[in-house]
Amino acid sequence: MNLRRDVFQAIADPTRRAILTLVAAQSMTAGAIAANFDTARPTVSKHLQILTECELLKQEQSGREMYYRLNPKKMKEIADFIEPFRKMWDDRFNKLEAIMKSKIHEHHSKKK
């Protein structure tokens, strides 16, 4: 039974994140992607298979070559999931910054 791969498990691997970064700029063949890594070609192929299975990458045939490109729709799903957390942390950091600025201001006011 082939379980659908979890997209977050896929991006947990630093090599797969590097592959996503590479193909974000332009679609590339497996060989061109593999040339960027010191690992064996079959290892890169396995990473590409995982990224394709969880739909982060799409395959496109061009002549005899298979090109891999980023699937923006799936990347947006990740971004949409993370966004509320980012907002929450931004709010916390903004509050912390405001508190620190007010403390610095109080400190300078007392010195005068």
CATH of 7-70, one of 3.30.70.20, 3.40.50.300, 3.30.450.20, 1.10.10.10: 1.10.10.10
Which pLDDT tens digit goes with each residue over 30-83?
Answer: 999 999 999 899 999 999 999 999 999 999 999 999 999 999 999 999 999 999
Prediction pTM value: 0.75
pLDDT of residue 22: 95
pLDDT of residue 23: 96
Which pLDDT tens digit goes with each residue over 81-92?
Answer: 999 999 999 999
Q: Is the pLDDT of residue 112 over 90?
A: no
pLDDT of residue 1: 36
* CA nearest to 27, candidates 69, 63, 55: 69
**DSSP-derived 3-state class of residue 27:** coil
Per-domain residue ranges for the chain? 7-70, 72-112
Give the Cα-Cα-Cα angle 31, 33, 38 (nearest 5 degrees).
Answer: 95
Angle between helices 41-53 and 14-25 (to 10 degrees): 80
pLDDT of residue 2: 44
